[in-house]
């Protein structure tokens, strides 16, 4: 081979591999849920599913044009902002490599074409995870409040709104963000804001009262802390990023330490810390000081007192199929007869060789329709009897974690009762696969994987059970967030009429959960976090039921059985446990304003206590490291007059996070160079061999 041939051959090799590398670099940039929402928003789904399921908070109409709320990861934020605006969209906030935005439904692919855009994720709908608990022997908060009450510390509440007119807050809600920023908001403004929330501020006001309420009887944990309230509009993940940027920005300007509470979450995602929401949160906390974040673990555990004609497994299913095993299936059904759409989120490890299939059955176990099997990298759909099934397995390698991502959606017409049907999620084995599946809406009252299902006639796959493992909701799966489980502080409390009400009686007059005093709440989500190594979550447990706290003044009439008095209401949930720990974190920041999130997490874990209910084998995936102990935690914090300074980072003072996509891009480039050099070397060797052979023959 002469030099000219060598150059041509090498050039062809370079072209082929460079084009292949380019295809890899630009593939898989759009979240499958976003693809589905874009297609449905432009088509009939905009009318059929408006306000339902994932559409309730994600598909928005702005100026008559269907638009989608998204989170974007980009290597050049300024260029991406210009592209968004050029496509008719609007930019929310920009933090490091992340941008929140509205994007026209028909412009999503054009945005993905921008070379600097790495991934576009649909904003996920988030749900709320809904006195005595301060006492010695439960959390020991009263033992430290003589000295520390959160003075000088800010508490951020990102929720359904806070009724700042309530006397428990005493003018300590110093900023209110609801589209615009209001400094020292007036009582009339706050009541107007919360009256626009779907729950009229009931959840957010209650949460704020637990963390910082100042009532003499129903005292919050940090009653002298000042509050920054962020009221969510649609309640989606992009709004959380906007809220964090707002809160941390104010804290930086005031040079004050701050703890932010998130009593909300979603089961849409890989639960491994890699969603764009989780990465954004990490960016705000890593390398910072005087910033702490508490998250509710979720209320997604299946309550054993809940009964159905079916065996109730849970909202999660583990997939583990080895090469040579038979096919497996999971039976699921919708429990809410008003539901019009349900979603199954599938995440399998890289390299899996399974195909997805969905079969829908009536109550007589007669097949109505089925879609698939669908191979990795493809999608399919079908429609029959008012039921539309979409199976999207096109994301063969998610750029954030390398996993195979499948999304199954079932839509029901207005005349179709979804509770009259069940469906099987089937994994056809072509060489084995492993991973996890989650249902959305993520409430066992609405969705469920069954257990104990026996194979019916004609089924060529084996049924596996659903469960309640890996059910810590996002963003509580974020490693940097202090994730809080719930336990019951007592069996009995007094209502507004002085009557005994029983929290340990399931579904009684007080809406009790059936959890006994001191026990882990039956609803409290179990871990671990998904991903390599089964990450430990939750981190800590705190009182989450029955909690009497501040009641929104516009929340409407309720049963007297759940009222402490007319201005205080009893609720339960990990939503109530998380702000309890947020209040303790505020006391810790009062003692040392430069405490980091990792310092606070380490102290809370090390000082958590064990008892007969937690057992001694901790940490585990229910209790975390045990029950929170405020006194021991405060004792471990060294007093300091340090003032936090986060001015060196990006955004509102946050550290720059190393991007996994950068690592993968570099690895891909190195691989390409090695392949190119290997081919060039092989071509050269062959040329030399041929030349030597020709010389010998001559």
Indicate which CATH number applies to the domain containing 551.
Answer: 3.40.50.200
User: Is residue 117 domain-shared with residue 153, that is, in the same domain?
Assistant: no
Between 71 and 139, name the one with better pLDDT: 71
Q: What's the whole-number mean pLDDT along residues 414-442?
A: 95
Residue 653, domain member (yes or no): no
When mean pLDDT is compared across 31-35, 254-258, 304-308, 359-363, the lowest value belongs to 304-308
pLDDT above 70 covers a percentage of the chain that reads 83
Distances (CA, A) of 31 to 118, 225, 264, 390, 410: 11, 40, 22, 15, 18
Residue 328 lies inside a defined structural domain of this protein: yes
Residue 641 lies in a domain: no
Per-residue pLDDT, 668: 47
Domain identity same for 74 and 135: no
Please tell me whether residues 371 and 429 are part of one structural domain: yes
Instruction: Give the pLDDT confidence of 121-152 residue by residue, as tens digits.
Output: 999 888 876 544 555 556 778 788 889 999 99
pLDDT given at position 327: 96
Do 513 and 482 lie in one domain? The reply is: yes
Quote the pLDDT of residue 41: 76
pLDDT in tens, 557-589: 889 999 999 999 999 999 999 999 999 999 999
pLDDT at 692: 42
Confidence grade of residue 649 (pLDDT, cut at 50, 70, 90): low
pLDDT of 336 reads 85
Using pLDDT thresholds of 50, 70 and 90, give the confidence band for residue 289: very high
**What is the C-alpha separation between 617 and 608, in angstroms, rounded?**
13
- The larger pLDDT score, comparing residue 2 to residue 15, is at 2
Residue 106 lies in domain: 31-122
Cβ(406)–Cβ(391) below 8 Å = yes
Phi-psi region of 182 (alpha: psi -120 to 50; beta: other; left: phi over 0): beta
pLDDT digits (tens, 9 = 90+) for 295-342: 999 999 998 888 776 789 999 999 999 999 999 999 999 988 777 889
Contact 199, 555 (CB under 8 A): yes
180 shares its domain with 230: yes
182 and 234 share a domain?
yes
pLDDT at 474 over 80: yes
* Residue-level pLDDT at 58: 58
Statement to judge: residues 160 and 186 lie in one domain:
yes
| CA 451/CA 38 separation, integer angstroms | 34
Lowest pLDDT segment from 248-252, 657-661, 678-682: 657-661
- Residue 111 belongs to a domain with what CATH number? 3.30.70.80
Comparing 11-20, 198-207, 218-227, 309-318, which segment has the lowest mean pLDDT?
A: 11-20
Average pLDDT over residues 234-256: 95
- Highest-confidence range of 181-185, 242-246, 529-533, by mean pLDDT? 242-246
Is 659 domain-assigned? no
* The pLDDT value given to residue 573: 95
DSSP SS3 for 636: helix
Domain boundary residue, one of 463, 490, 507: 463
pLDDT in tens, 38-70: 888 776 545 545 555 566 545 555 556 688 899
Domain contains 236: yes
Q: What is the pLDDT of residue 133?
A: 56
Tell me the pLDDT band of 669, cut-offs 50, 70 and 90.
Answer: very low
Which pLDDT band holds residue 679 (cuts at 50, 70, 90)?
Answer: low
Do 320 and 449 lie in one domain? The reply is yes
Kindly report which listed range (197-201, 427-431, 661-665) carries the lowest average pLDDT score: 661-665
- The tally of domains found in the chain comes to 4
Q: What do you get for the CA distance between the two ends of the chain, in Å?
A: 16
pLDDT digits (tens, 9 = 90+) for 680-692: 555 455 544 444 4
For residue 325, being part of any structural domain is answered with yes
Q: Above 80 in pLDDT, residue 102?
A: yes
Q: Is 539 exposed, middle or buried (0-12, 13-18, 19+ CB in 10 A)?
A: buried
Are residues 451 and 384 located together in one domain of the fold?
yes
Q: Is a pLDDT exceeding 50 seen at residue 695?
A: no
Q: Are residues 56 and 102 in the same domain?
A: yes
* Whether the predicted pLDDT of 8 surpasses 50: no
The string of pLDDT tens digits covering residues 340-395 is 889 999 999 999 999 999 999 999 999 999 999 999 999 999 999 999 999 999 99
The pair of structure tokens assigned to 426 is 């089937």
User: Where does 87-200 have alpha helices with state H?
Assistant: 108-113, 187-195
What is the band of 678 on the pLDDT scale with cuts at 50, 70, 90?
Answer: low
Spatial distance between the Cα atoms of 653 and 647, rounded to a whole number of angstroms: 5
Same domain, 397 and 438: yes
Which of 88, 122, 156 is where one domain is finished? 122
- Give the list of residues 6+ apart from residue 490 with CB closer than 8 angstroms, or none: 132, 503, 517, 546
User: In the predicted model, is pLDDT for residue 663 greater than 60?
Assistant: no
Q: Based on the domain organization, do 96 and 160 belong to the same domain?
A: no
- Does pLDDT of 693 surpass 70? no
d(CA 649, CA 246): 15
Among 444, 463, 482, which residue terminates a domain? 463
């Amino acid at each position: 081979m002469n030099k000219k041939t060598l150059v041509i051959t090498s050039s062809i090799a370079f072209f082929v591999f460079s084009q292949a590398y380019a295809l890899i670099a630009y593939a898989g940039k759009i979240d499958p849920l976003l693809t589905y929402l874009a297609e449905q928003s432009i088509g009939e789904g905009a009318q059929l599913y408006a306000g339902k399921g994932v559409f309730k908070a994600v598909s928005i109409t702005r100026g008559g044009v269907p638009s989608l709320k998204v989170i974007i990861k980009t290597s050049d934020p300024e260029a991406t902002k210009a592209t968004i605006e050029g496509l008719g969209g609007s930019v929310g906030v920009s933090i490091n490599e992340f941008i929140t935005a509205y994007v026209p439904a028909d412009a999503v692919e054009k945005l993905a074409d921008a070379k600097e855009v790495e991934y576009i994720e649909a904003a996920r709908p988030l749900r709320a995870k809904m006195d005595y608990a301060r006492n010695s022997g439960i959390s020991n908060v009263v033992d430290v409040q003589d000295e520390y009450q959160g003075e000088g510390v800010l508490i951020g509440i990102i929720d359904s709104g806070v009724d700042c007119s309530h006397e428990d807050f005493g003018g300590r809600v110093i900023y209110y963000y609801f589209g615009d920023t209001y400094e020292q908001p007036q009582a009339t403004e706050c009541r107007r804001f919360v009256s626009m929330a779907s729950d009229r501020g009931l959840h957010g006001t209650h949460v704020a009262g637990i963390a910082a309420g100042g009532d003499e009887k129903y005292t919050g944990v940090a009653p002298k802390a000042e509050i920054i309230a962020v009221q969510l509009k649609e309640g989606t993940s992009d709004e959380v990023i906007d809220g964090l940027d707002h809160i941390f920005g104010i804290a930086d300007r005031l040079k004050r330490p701050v703890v932010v509470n998130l009593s909300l979450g979603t089961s849409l995602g890989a639960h491994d810390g890699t969603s764009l929401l989780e990465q954004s949160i990490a960016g705000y906390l890593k390398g910072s000081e005087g910033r702490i974040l508490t998250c509710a673990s979720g209320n997604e555990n299946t309550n054993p007192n809940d009964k159905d004609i079916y065996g109730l497994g849970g909202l999660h299913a583990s997939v583990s199929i080895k090469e040579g095993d038979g096919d497996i299936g999971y039976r699921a059904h919708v429990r809410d007869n008003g539901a019009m759409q349900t979603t199954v989120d599938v995440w399998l490890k890289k390299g899996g060789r399974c195909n997805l299939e969905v079969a829908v059955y009536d109550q007589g176990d007669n097949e109505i329709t089925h879609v698939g099997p669908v191979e990795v990298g493809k999608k399919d759909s079908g429609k029959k009897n008012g039921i539309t099934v979409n199976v999207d397995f096109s994301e063969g390698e998610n750029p954030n974690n390398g996993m195979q991502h499948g999304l199954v959606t079932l839509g029901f017409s207005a005349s179709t009762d979804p509770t009259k049907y069940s469906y099987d999620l089937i994994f056809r084995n072509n060489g084995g696969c492993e991973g996890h599946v989650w249902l959305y809406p993520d409430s066992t009252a609405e969705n469920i994987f069954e257990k104990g299902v026996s194979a019916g006639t004609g089924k060529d796959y084996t049924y596996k059970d659903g469960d309640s493992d890996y059910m810590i909701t996002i963003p509580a799966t974020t490693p940097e967030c202090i994730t809080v489980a719930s336990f019951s502080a007592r069996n009995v409390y007094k209502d507004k009429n002085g009557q005994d009400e029983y929290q340990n009686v399931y579904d009684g007059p007080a809406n009790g959960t059936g959890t006994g005093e001191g026990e882990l709440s039956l609803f409290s989500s179990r871990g671990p976090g998904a991903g390599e190594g089964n990450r430990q979550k939750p981190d800590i447990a705190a009182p989450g039921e029955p909690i009497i706290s501040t009641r929104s003044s516009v929340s409407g009439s309720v049963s007297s059985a759940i009222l402490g008095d007319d201005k205080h209401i009893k609720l339960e949930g990990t939503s109530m446990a998380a702000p309890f720990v947020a209040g303790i974190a505020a006391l810790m920041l009062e003692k040392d304003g430069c405490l980091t999130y990792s310092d606070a997490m380490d102290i809370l874990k090390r000082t958590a206590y064990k008892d007969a209910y937690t057992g001694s084998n901790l940490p585990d995936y229910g209790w975390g490291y045990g029950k929170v102990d405020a006194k021991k935690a405060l004792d471990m914090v060294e007093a300091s007059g340090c003032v936090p300074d986060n001015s060196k980072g990006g955004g509102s003072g946050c550290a720059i996070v190393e991007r996994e996509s950068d690592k993968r891009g570099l690895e891909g480039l190195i691989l390409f160079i090695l392949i190119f050099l290997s081919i060039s070397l092989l071509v050269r060797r062959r040329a030399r061999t041929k030349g030597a052979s020709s010389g010998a023959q001559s």
